Structure 1
Amino acid sequence: MQERAPVRIAVLNDYDIVVAGVAAVLRPFSDRVEVVDLAAGGAERIRLDEAELDLVLYDTFGKSQGGALNIAGMTSKRIRVVVFSWNTDPALVAASLEAGAAGYVSKSATADELVSAIERIATGQRVVPDGTDGRDGFDGFNAFGRWPGDEHGLSPREAEVLALICQGLSNEEIGQRAFIGVNTVKTHIRTLYRKINVSSRTQAVVWGHAHGFQPEKD
């Protein structure tokens, strides 16, 4: 029986630590999933074609989500894009699929579950989180990969809010980007300020720029 070739994927995010963390978790499964491109550095489009790549794993940390996804701008029509996020709100999942995503995987998944989902999506199956109920699927679970600020005690959600602050977004814009309410944004800001010992947005941005919260750019 001929052994099945691994699914060839690119991991896409603007933060090198996020991309490297996902790739590291997938490395033990290289016989099933081969990471052939680490698309950090502000990459807007995967430059590999169908001969080199089967699927793009789009990590939503600090990135557009849902209906704001620009699937056509990421890759060719024949390469499937999978959204990888801790937010499994049903409306967000549905909007991502409507925007052209081939599947949606929660970051509360284990590495083996992620690999299995990638394999299924690569064969044309549509995969979405089981029991999608709108709860945060990352905070409170063992984190998948790494993110800026984890060594300073920031939760994944707090880290993303800080990343979006460093991108110059308002609280309302952060809520829209992260698909959470403005009051929730304010709560995360209060807790992350306390953890990094700052008291203003300007101080938070200065701290963030010194601790890896600026997206990598080409």
Structure 2
Amino acid sequence: MSSAGPRPVSVLLVDDQDLLRDALATVLGADPRIRVSGGVANGDAAVEHVRSHRVDVVLMDIRMPGMDGIAATSAVLRRSPATRVLVLTTFDLDEYVFAAVRAGASGFLTKDTRPADLADAVCRVAEGDAAVAPRAAASLLRHVRRQVLPDGDPLAVLTPREREVFLLLARGASNAEIGARLFLTGNTVKTHVRAVLAGLGLPDRIQVVIWAYEHGIIRPGEADEDHPDG
């Protein structure tokens, strides 16, 4: 009895340009890891599609007529919390980067991203990882503002090992880098990452970075200086 391979990532394409949607469908559909669930031209149609279809990742444009990509991201995630949103846009202006993440997006890429990198990003986001265009990352962090820390230790819910994992996540480390730094197996790292997200009530890794900056645990410039590869 043969066993089936991994289920392809189901992707919905949301963009008001027909030619771009067709091009994205061709590029992503050629990757065996991905199945294109459909393509729609605006946020309202995206919400309706998610209502009636299983969608793992929504590839979302920002500027569209009617409901824009920021509002659509919020609406999609309210309708289907398990779905991930990866914003894809021509514009990498700061306000759009920040608004997309604040709305719950798991990543932000520009439309000139190489096809192979785009497919990889879709798969990473589907697995609970994050994807941010390099030139947008600095914009994202510039917009994070420190908030007043709550009384007590904001990491009190985490075990000592989970704290170590959290700090590496907050500095942008991958699972492989965390494993190498802490001498942990891949499965153990995944278990600790899930525990960190659940303990802090965060949906994915990009929100860990934002949370850490907002609470003053990581400061601008510190992530690059302390990154495992740096």
Normalised by the length of structure 2, the TM-score is 0.49
Alignment of 1:1-218 (within 5 A): 3-29=5-31, 31-40=32-41, 43-48=45-50, 52-62=54-64, 64-65=68-69, 68-74=70-76, 75-132=79-136
Asked whether the 8 Å contact 2:74–2:103 carries over to 1, the reply is: no
Asked whether the 8 Å contact 2:15–2:61 carries over to 1, the reply is: yes
Q: Structure 1 residues 117, 50: closer, same or farther in 2, change over 3 A?
A: farther
Asked whether the 8 Å contact 1:23–1:35 carries over to 2, the reply is: yes
For the aligned residue pairs, the C-alpha RMSD in angstroms reads 2.7
- Aligned counterpart, 1:160: none
Q: Percent of counterpart pairs with the same letter?
A: 24
Indicate the SS of the match to 1:84.
Answer: strand
Q: Structure 1 residues 3, 120: closer, same or farther in 2, change over 3 A?
A: same
- Return the offset for 1:2: 6.8
Q: Structure 1 residues 46, 15: closer, same or farther in 2, change over 3 A?
A: farther
Structure 1 residue runs of 4 or more that deviate by more than 6 Å after TM superposition: none
Q: Structure 1 residues 62, 48: closer, same or farther in 2, change over 3 A?
A: closer
Q: Structure 1 residues 126, 77: closer, same or farther in 2, change over 3 A?
A: same
Q: Residues of 1 paired with 2:135 and 2:15: CA distance?
A: 26
- Return the offset for 1:9: 0.7
Task: String of CA shifts for 1:124-174, please: whole Å, max 9, x gaps.
Answer: 11211113266xxxxxxxxxxxxxxxxxxxxxxxxxxxxxxxxxxxxxxxx
Q: Match of 1:39, as an amino acid?
A: V
Q: Structure 1 residues 106, 23: closer, same or farther in 2, change over 3 A?
A: same
- Aligned counterpart, 1:159: none
| Corresponding residue pairs, total | 131
Asked whether the 8 Å contact 1:50–1:78 carries over to 2, the reply is: no
- Return the offset for 1:21: 2.2
Task: String of CA shifts for 1:180-207, please: whole Å, max 9, x gaps.
Answer: xxxxxxxxxxxxxxxxxxxxxxxxxxxx
Q: Structure 1 residues 115, 80: closer, same or farther in 2, change over 3 A?
A: same
Q: Structure 1 residues 100, 5: closer, same or farther in 2, change over 3 A?
A: same
- Return the offset for 1:47: 2.6
Q: Which has the larger radius of gyration?
A: 2
Q: Residues of 2 paired with 1:26 and 1:44: CA distance?
A: 18
Q: Residues of 2 paired with 1:116 and 1:50: CA distance?
A: 26
Question: Which one has a larger percent helix, Structure 1 or Structure 2?
Answer: 2
Task: Considering Cα pairs closer than 8 Å and 6+ residues apart, tell me whether 1 or 2 has the greater RCO.
Answer: 1
Asked whether the 8 Å contact 1:103–1:128 carries over to 2, the reply is: yes
Q: Residues of 2 paired with 1:46 and 1:120: CA distance?
A: 25
Q: Structure 1 residues 131, 76: closer, same or farther in 2, change over 3 A?
A: same
**Structure 2: gaps (5+ residues):** 140-230
**Structure 1: gaps (5+ residues):** 135-218
Q: Structure 1 residues 59, 86: closer, same or farther in 2, change over 3 A?
A: same
